[in-house]
Amino acid sequence: MLSPYKGGKQVPVGDIDVYCSDGHRYYTGFGSEKIYVSREMAVDKKAGEEVHITLRKASASVEIIDLK
């Protein structure tokens, strides 16, 4: 799941959350204030399957607009 920045962090970036079928959860930030999402989005995939991310260039940043 990708989530927009919700405030309260030292570096204002969105979140990447990974929920594994075995119950483990992993999370990190986008790593750059120039990458963002405007809404939560998620994709289900099996081990070894690819995730395709669609990006849109904005004036001074890059928006993630779709996951497949």
pLDDT at residue 49, rounded to an integer:
95
How many CA atoms within 13 Å lie on the side-chain side of 4? 7
pLDDT at 58: 86
Measured CA distances, 22 to 15, 41, 53, 62, 68 (Å): 21, 21, 24, 33, 22
pLDDT bin (cut points 50, 70, 90) of residue 39 is very high
Rounded Cα gap, residues 17 and 40, in angstroms = 11
pTM: predicted TM-score of the whole model, two decimal places? 0.84
Burial of 24 (0-12, 13-18, 19+ CB in 10 A): exposed
Kindly state the average pLDDT of the residues 3-21.
93
Q: What is the pLDDT of residues 15-38, one digit of tens each?
A: 999 999 999 999 999 999 999 999
